[in-house]
């Protein structure tokens, strides 16, 4: 086991051999929960209180956001055991082997947002602990140094790969859960701070919905990454167990979410949440908060950066997984420094998360519908065509893009953004249509489902894209899958186009 942990992972986004698929659904649970059982999630949990909701209202918004987000996310764990690769590459079966770059783009945005949150929040908690425990002077250089240490450790774990990451998350699941639950004893009897009765968006429902959507951003953020870990699970694993692992993992995140909700009531009016929490914590618990911050920052940063480095190496095949991880890590760290030390990172991250929810959810809906109509049957070799520098195969469609799914995703994302209400950075021109309530998510979900199904009916996909039993619920047209060929073999000729 030790040798496996300390050996740098050799797999990129290539199909994982059956012999290496030794993970189980419980491992999928641990990685998700470990990656979310952190201060990054805690900070999202403080949002409903900070936006002006009362404690009962904030708890309701948090539970609603987690439940709905978990329902949307759960099917995303089904693809990788069938394809042996991550979700972005797997999406090539529906968006085309080139069109799957949409998934890579979404995973990059998500990684930047959550890697930034994890290092920023955990770093601030550690700085707050250093100020309280050792009398250190808070300063920008100190924060930058702490961010650098956390960021570097994350990159080290990412470079070693999946097995090392799995061990880290196993530790975090147990340790952080125990430490967070100790907060019941640590903060028992403390009185809430003065409540701010002013709703951030002027009235209850718009503020409630915004709070639920921000919370929902946490489970939705796993959509592009879930296949990074479930690709190590055997293809024969039951779908129920895969769905249950994701569903239960997201329900378990109510632990850090509610920690954030409850402790936010203690820090209202006392300045920065993390610093205030460290200062009001009992002397025996303050060092434990630093441990939670360190482990949590490591876990969330790893789960975010690992998937992006993995996928980036597939978009630019000349980069190995390690090289791609290093490049993305350096870029993300530069973003953290600029955002935390120069810009208003809180507003930027909230808007970023809102945009991720609106753009990623339709992609997930299209993937889920595609899974149903394909009966869960995929052809791993054909999914890998683009990554191997070749053309053709069952998922080539037209020039490597399936315009049915692509059109549905673009339409749903664009329409959804028109109704968005994530002030001050993402506010759509139609955000007042429902009295200021953000209806961008239901709109984008409905548009994605209806437009994709309409495209499948009006312009049927070729039957060879489906399994031996053919499509479920939708028509298909006759055709022969184009031969998979190397691009180099076609030098000087026009690339094969094919029918849609």
Domains in the chain: ranges and CATH: 2-343 (1.10.4160.10)
Phi and psi at 399, nearest 5°, equal: 55, 30
How much is the average pLDDT of 88-107?
92
Specify the higher pLDDT residue, 6 or 349: 349
- 174's CB contacts (< 8 A; 6+ apart) are none
pLDDT in tens, 354-396: 888 899 999 999 999 999 999 999 999 999 998 888 999 999 9
Average the pLDDT over each of 1-5, 296-300, 361-365, 397-401 and give the range with the smallest value: 1-5
Confidence band of 490 (pLDDT split at 50, 70, 90): very low
**How deeply is 182 buried, as exposed, middle or buried, from its count of CB atoms within 10 A (0-12, 13-18, 19+)?**
middle
Phi-psi region at 485: left, alpha or beta (left = phi > 0; alpha = psi -120 to 50) = beta
pLDDT in tens, 123-135: 888 888 888 888 8
Instruction: Give the bridge partners for 477, in sequence order.
Output: 462
Task: Specify the pLDDT at position 196.
Answer: 56
Confidence band of 162 (pLDDT split at 50, 70, 90): low
Instruction: Give the bridge partners for 427, in sequence order.
Output: 421
Q: Is the pLDDT of residue 204 over 50?
A: yes
How much is the average pLDDT of 92-120?
86
Sign of torsion, CA 435 348 246 11?
A: positive
| Unique residue bearing structure tokens 């250093």 | 130
Instruction: Retrieve residue 318's tokens.
Output: 């000349």
Task: Specify the pLDDT at position 30.
Answer: 87
Sign of torsion, CA 451 453 459 465?
A: positive
Tell me if 456 sits within 8 A of 474, measured CB to CB: yes
Instruction: Give the bridge partners for 110, in sequence order.
Output: none
Angle at alpha carbon of residue 15, lines to 13 and 21, rounded to 5°? 110
Q: What is d(CA 466, CA 110) in angstroms, rounded to the nearest whole number? A: 30
Number of residues that make up the chain:
500
Percent share of the chain, pLDDT over 90: 42
Phi-psi region at 492: left, alpha or beta (left = phi > 0; alpha = psi -120 to 50) = left
Task: Specify the pLDDT at position 161.
Answer: 62
Tell me if 70 sits within 8 A of 36, measured CB to CB: no
Provide DSSP, 142-159.
HHHHHHHHHHHHHHHHHH
Task: Specify the pLDDT at position 313.
Answer: 66
């Amino acid at each position: 086991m030790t040798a496996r942990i300390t050996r740098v992972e050799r797999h990129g986004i290539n199909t994982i051999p059956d012999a290496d698929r030794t993970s189980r659904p419980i491992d999928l649970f641990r990685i998700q929960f470990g990656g979310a059982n952190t201060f990054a999630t805690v900070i999202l949990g403080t949002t409903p209180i900070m936006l002006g909701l009362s404690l009962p209202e904030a708890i309701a918004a948090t539970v609603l956001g987690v439940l709905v987000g978990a329902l949307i996310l759960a099917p995303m764990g089904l693809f990788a055991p069938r394809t042996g690769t991550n979700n972005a590459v797997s999406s090539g079966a529906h968006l085309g082997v080139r069109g799957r770059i949409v998934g890579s783009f979404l995973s990059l945005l998500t990684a930047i947002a959550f890697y930034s949150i994890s290092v920023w929040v955990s770093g601030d908690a550690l700085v707050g602990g250093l100020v309280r425990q050792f009398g250190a002077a808070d300063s920008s250089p100190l924060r930058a140094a702490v961010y650098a240490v956390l960021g570097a450790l994350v990159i080290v774990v990412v470079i070693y790969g999946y097995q090392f990451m799995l061990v880290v998350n196993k530790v975090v699941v147990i340790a952080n859960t125990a430490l967070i639950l100790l907060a019941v004893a640590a903060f028992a009897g403390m009185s809430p701070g003065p409540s701010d009765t002013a709703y951030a968006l002027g009235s209850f429902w718009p503020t409630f919905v915004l709070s639920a959507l921000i919370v929902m951003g946490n489970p939705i953020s796993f959509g592009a990454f879930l296949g990074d870990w479930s690709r190590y699970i055997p293809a024969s694993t039951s779908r129920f167990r895969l769905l249950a692992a994701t569903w239960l993992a997201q329900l378990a995140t109510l632990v850090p979410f509610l920690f954030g909700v409850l402790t936010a009531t203690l820090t209202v009016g006392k300045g920065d949440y993390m610093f205030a929490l460290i200062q009001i914590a009992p002397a025996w618990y303050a060092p434990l908060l630093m441990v939670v911050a360190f482990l949590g920052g490591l876990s969330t940063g790893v789960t975010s950066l690992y998937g992006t480095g993995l996928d980036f190496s597939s978009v630019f095949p000349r980069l190995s997984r390690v090289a791609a991880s290093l490049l993305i890590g350096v870029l993300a760290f530069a973003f953290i420094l600029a955002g935390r030390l120069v810009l208003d990172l809180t507003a930027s991250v909230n808007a970023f998360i809102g945009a991720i929810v609106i753009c990623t959810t339709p992609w997930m809906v299209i993937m889920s519908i595609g899974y149903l109509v394909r009966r869960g049957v995929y052809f791993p070799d054909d999914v890998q065509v683009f990554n191997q520098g070749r053309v053709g195969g069952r998922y080539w469609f037209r020039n490597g893009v399936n315009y049915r799914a692509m059109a549905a995703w673009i339409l749903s994302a664009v329409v959804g953004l028109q109704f968005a209400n994530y002030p001050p950075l993402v506010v759509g021109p139609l955000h007042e249509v429902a009295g200021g309530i953000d209806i961008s998510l239901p709109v984008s979900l409905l548009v994605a489902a209806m437009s994709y199904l309409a495209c499948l009916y009006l312009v049927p996909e070729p039957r060879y894209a489906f399994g031996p039993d053919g499509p479920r619920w939708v028509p298909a047209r006759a055709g022969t899958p184009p031969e998979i060929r190397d691009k180099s073999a076609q030098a000087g000729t026009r690339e094969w186009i094919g029918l849609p």
